[in-house]
Amino acid sequence: MNVKPDPAAEWGPFERPLFEDPGARALSRVGVVDVGSNSVRLVVFDGAARSPAYFYNEKIMCALGAGLSETGVLNPKGRIRALSALRRFQHLALGMGLPPLSVVATAAVRDASDGPDFCAQVKREIGMKIWVIDGREEARLSAQGVLLGWPGSYGLVCDIGGSSMELAEIQEGRVGKRVTSSLGPLKLRELPGGRRGRRAHIKQVMTDLKEQMGSQKDRLFLVGGSWRAIARIDMVRRGYPLKVLHEYRMTAQSVRDTLKYIENNDLEKLRLASGFSTARMSLIPYAVDVLAQLVRSFKPKDIAISSYGIREGLLYEQMPQRLRNRDPLVESCRFAESKDARMPGFGKTLYNFVLPLFKSNPETTKRLIKAACLLHDVSWRAHPDYRAEVCFDNATRANLGGLKHSERVFLGLALLHRYRNKREGTRFEDLYDLLDEKGKKEAEILGKAMRFGAMLMVSQDGDIGTLKWQPRKKQLRLILPKSVEPLYGEVAESRLASLAQVLQAEVTVDIRN
């Protein structure tokens, strides 16, 4: 009886590419609009659907929710600006040939007495259907946005907007309890009683939220522009070298130190140093008080900034479960290989070739090795003098999900060593210290192994030989098939010697028929 091979087994740990699936390709370009209390934003996602690139991203600060607590209606000037923004976004979408935009409105529109009238006007004049979501749904979508970047993650998601703040629990990749509150900076700014009254109000509301959510001492994921602004100031205070907000980590103590730093410094000078707008910076004093009480109440083990939120949650909502389960980093790198590498598919062969050097490493490292092998050749168009720098830049600054900052540096260093023996003398040296010495050495080993393996690249799935590594004996053995021997010339020999040197190993080469 003939048994058909299992496609999943054929691909091994890589699994079959999903971006070639029609269901995934249908999500390859999706436009969403978030009509918030403070801003109106259009994001168009493009690329590998599991880890999408931002094809277009534009935000207009409209302050629809300004004065809402006092008047009960949308800010008239903000309403005019929002209508103008939505007209522009609709025109852009038509020009890009997008399917109908997914448009959601949050706290300001749902709370304002003229919210339904605003939605009707948008439908009548622009042709957009606005979905007004309640606070619990907003919390769910924001949490799903976090899951887009951290599949299988756990903790508490806190999304702060202009007029509200939502909390959602995530456990094992699923959204659990969720609540909403009025702790948005625009509403807090309108409270009577000055800062003392505001702090008392925040404490009371946070106490109620804690009772509803229960103990949440895992990771705290912060979503929203005000949180990102505070994180940027934390970077300025610390002199942090990598200016990527997504996956930036803070401790409770660093949050307390930064809140004091904000209170003791001129806000305009901080704004200029951090690069935020005046409108955003004006809300920071109110967000500071909320964050202080949030950390004090829930006592998270650590704090992570998420650039993914409600808009990414809308994309996640449309994904089939088989796509949600995939690693966003690997899928993004796989897509980059298929689009830009000279020989798409060789990354899998290279991964299998270098893996014997990392047999004892945890899966968290092996996924980085997999990502590096997929990306090893995507920068070949860059000038040879700058390929190493381009690789490092791409890894450390690209919009990739599922990567801690230290992992970005690991990936960047591995790809740098793919094209360059030494890492000294680059403009990136201040970033290297985000990785410990063991990580730096492993990145160098990986980079030099890929540098050698690339010399044997003649087909995407041909037999390029096998590496055998005995770490205790410090013996490295290369077994080459006779058919590949012509590729093992002087340059290849030199690159194998460089790999052996960093391993402090003796090397032998066996040619077999």
Average pLDDT over residues 241-263: 94
Q: Note whether residue 207 is domain-resident.
A: yes
Whether residue 455 sits in one domain with residue 366? yes
Whether residue 140 sits in one domain with residue 285? yes
pLDDT tens digit sequence for 86-127: 999 999 999 999 989 999 999 999 999 999 999 999 999 999
- Burial of residue 502 (CB within 10 Å: 0-12, 13-18, 19+) is middle
Whether residue 398 sits in one domain with residue 281? no
CATH number of residue 86's parent domain: 3.30.420.40
CB 188 within 8 A of CB 226: no
pLDDT at 303 over 80: yes
pTM > 0.85: yes or no: yes
- pLDDT for 48 equals 58
Whether residue 111 sits in one domain with residue 87? yes
- pLDDT for 21 equals 56
d(C-alpha 479, C-alpha 364), whole Å: 28
Q: Note whether residue 452 is domain-resident.
A: yes
Q: Hey, which of 144-153, 248-257, 331-340, 393-402 has the most confident mean pLDDT?
A: 248-257
Whether residue 258 sits in one domain with residue 157? yes
Domain count, the chain: 3
CB 375 within 8 A of CB 394: yes
Whether residue 284 sits in one domain with residue 141? yes
Q: Note whether residue 506 is domain-resident.
A: no
Whether residue 168 sits in one domain with residue 124? no
Range of the domain at 161: 136-312
pLDDT at 44 over 70: yes
Sheet of strand 249-250, all strands in order from the earlier edge strand to the far edge: 174-181, 165-171, 155-160, 219-223, 302-306, 249-250
Q: Note whether residue 100 is domain-resident.
A: yes
* CA distances to 96, 351, 456, 497 from 487, in Å: 46, 19, 6, 15
Whether residue 247 sits in one domain with residue 141? yes
Whether residue 151 sits in one domain with residue 234? yes
Whether residue 200 sits in one domain with residue 301? yes
CATH number of residue 178's parent domain: 3.30.420.150
Whether residue 372 sits in one domain with residue 300? no
Whether residue 295 sits in one domain with residue 147? yes
Q: Decide which of 73, 98, 132 is a domain's last residue.
A: 132
What are the residues whose beta carbons fall under 8 Å from the beta carbon of 323, sequence distance 6 or more? 18, 23, 24, 27, 49, 50
- pLDDT for 1 equals 36
